Amino acid sequence: MTTETSKKNWRGIFTIPVTPFRDDTELDLDSLRAEIDFCVEAGAHGIVHPVMASEFFTLTEDERLTMMPIVVKQTERAANGDNRPPVVIGVAATSTQGARKLAAAARDSGADAVIAMPPYVTKYSPDDVLRYFEEVSKAAQLPVFIQNAGVASMNVQTLLKLIREVEHVCYVKEEVAPAHHNIARLAEANEPKLKGIFGGGGGHNLIDELRRGGSGNMPAAQYTDVLARIFNLSEAGKEREARELHMRLMPAMNRERLAGGSSAKMVLVKRGVIKSARTRGAGGAIDDYDRAELDALWPQLEELFTWRAK
């Protein structure tokens, strides 16, 4: 991480590349590289991988370790040395030991930050959650994002305690309902160590979250160019234009709510970014009616895109 990058309080669309699989469900690393190129070219302000939208919970430890340096190096190549977006590596695990190992590997891969939720299979006590993030922080020696998600949810006071007591914890991705209210409560706490609060939910409530003190959003990658434009318009004080573009994207975002990662992958295939929409079982099922609905939306949706396959 460069000195200049580490000084910034990060804002914007920190997009989440999906993990591309071949039709036999093995990793497709060529598609991953192409997707990173797309994210950077489409204007992502940051890259986050692997987290929920990346199907991280279906990946082996070896697969995660393999992809870390690929994501970092491909981001560098795509940016061509020109204001490279920060790379945030997901290190959540089912144990403190597992997260600690992943956090150290993320640091060694050249990541700019790490992101983790607490263990999501066995529920940890508050003291164990604190120790978990302490170990992640020590191993990474990088800024740490807390991902507050429904599978391992925490209240605002717990989040603030972790920020205050764990050295490198300084960002939150908040997606526990009502996430927009929680973002406001975190912002209103005026905690000096908290550098930023990002929303989730595919950017559905992006503008509302920004007005409440949010710093941006971490959506799946398929609409990176459109969401980045919405954020940039909002930052420039052009809220009316931002809202208009957001509303035009809403029907497509509603499709993602129905099928999650499956829908995101279907769009990325249609855009010519990745080769297959195959998942490892994550996300809702896609049927012929879903494909027909996307086809019906496509002419209006395509008008919003600023990135197109070469």
Question: Residues 52-70: what's their mean pLDDT?
Answer: 97
Count of structural domains, the chain: 1
> What's the confidence (pLDDT) of residue 82?
72
Q: Which two tokens stand for residue 296?
A: 């019906």
| Residue 190 within any structural domain of the chain | yes
**Residue 112: CB atoms within 10 Å:** 24
| Residue 97 within any structural domain of the chain | yes
How far is it, in rounded angstroms, from Cα 163 to Cα 29?
35
| Residue 275 within any structural domain of the chain | no
Contact partners, residue 247, CB within 8 Å, separation at least 6: none
| Residue 271 within any structural domain of the chain | no
| Residue 255 within any structural domain of the chain | no
Whether the CB-CB separation of 242 and 211 falls below 8 Å is answered with no
pLDDT digits (tens, 9 = 90+) for 160-192: 999 999 999 999 999 999 999 999 999 999 999
Residue 206's domain is classified under what CATH number? 3.20.20.70
R_g (Cα) of the chain, nearest Å: 18
| Residue 282 within any structural domain of the chain | no
> What's the confidence (pLDDT) of residue 3?
35
Check residues 19 and 259 and name the one with the higher pLDDT.
Answer: 19
> What's the confidence (pLDDT) of residue 6?
52
| Residue 153 within any structural domain of the chain | yes
Quickly state the pLDDT bin for 60 (edges 50, 70, 90): very high
Range of the domain at 92: 3-242
Q: What percent of the chain has pLDDT over 90?
A: 91
**Residue 277: CB atoms within 10 Å:** 22
| Residue 102 within any structural domain of the chain | yes
Interstrand relation of 169-174 and 196-199 (parallel, antiparallel or unpaired): parallel
Q: How far is CA 8 from CA 143, 155, 172, 174, 196, in A?
A: 11, 27, 15, 20, 10
Q: How far is CA 29 from CA 59, 66, 274, 275, in A?
A: 13, 10, 10, 11
